[in-house]
Structure 1
């Protein structure tokens, strides 16, 4: 009887920790994805400085891209961005937003860039500069990708 009584706290602790390990990475990363979506919604819904700025369109033909394939570095959020295509897109978005923040000082874009860097754990990725889009369209597509990632994180 004494051995069983001593095992109860240990078993309870193991069950609690296992749940935290499985859900922990999602809990850490979900706020970043949620903030990216929220910020994109705010910026898409109104005119802001640089909204008409032209940026590389990283969302077109990512499968047939001439840039080298990128693989995610291990990060606390790598579980959310598991597909190589999503990772490449988000990594290239970091590069584009860094270029935008150098030309245009909008604090919300800097916050979005910080959250993206947290997701991909990289700061620069090669960007194909041949196709161009407006910054507002870029943010709309970035929001859609993050919505897809957020929906995956809910499971």
Structure 2
């Protein structure tokens, strides 16, 4: 009797957790976290926000959303690995984006126009908010 009463809350919790992911709420959690991080980053007044980055959104029309997120991740990685500012936020954002991105992509800096980190983050925030509204 004692073992059964201890197992019931555990089983209910497991059932609730699995149904949470089965119904697609993982998308919401990841997007919420990405949007929250982007809100924090874009509100900051930091000299790193003016760093030049490749304009990952200036890609051919046939570029998929996953490929765009992959390119954004590459640029974020390039920034937080070579500069000491905003590392925690940018690396977390990169980690969350990797779940939404394709595994392989390239950013050809010679052919790509440049933008600032702030512009990249603002555009990414707009895209993520649109994506979240459709979830």
SS in 1 for 2:65: helix
2: CA distance between counterparts of 1:52 and 1:131?
Answer: 15
**TM-score normalised to structure 1 length:** 0.65
1: CA distance between counterparts of 2:78 and 2:45?
Answer: 19
Query: Does the 8 Å CA contact 1:55/1:132 hold for their aligned counterparts?
Result: yes
SS in 2 for 1:96: helix
Structure 2: state its 5+ residue gaps: 1-14
2:56 corresponds in structure 1 to: 58
Query: Does the 8 Å CA contact 1:54/1:133 hold for their aligned counterparts?
Result: yes
Query: Does the 8 Å CA contact 1:97/1:113 hold for their aligned counterparts?
Result: yes
1: CA distance between counterparts of 2:102 and 2:67?
Answer: 12
**TM-score normalised to structure 2 length:** 0.74
Shift of 1:119: 1.9
Aligned length: 116
Say if 2:111 is the partner of 1:111. Answer: no
Cα RMSD of the aligned pairs, angstroms, is 2.4
Structure 1: state its 5+ residue gaps: 1-15, 70-84
2:105 corresponds in structure 1 to: 125
Shift of 1:29: 2.3
The aligned runs of 1:1-155 (5 Å cut-off) are: 20=19, 24=22, 26-63=24-61, 85-105=64-84, 106=86, 107-120=88-101, 122=103, 124-129=104-109, 130-153=112-135
- Runs (4 or more) in structure 1 with deviation over 3 Å come to none
Query: Does the 8 Å CA contact 2:54/2:115 hold for their aligned counterparts?
Result: yes
Shift of 1:50: 1.1
- Any idea what the Cα deviations from partners look like across 1:87-136, whole Å, max 9, x if unmatched? 121111111111111112321111101100122262x5201322000100
Query: Does the 8 Å CA contact 2:54/2:114 hold for their aligned counterparts?
Result: yes
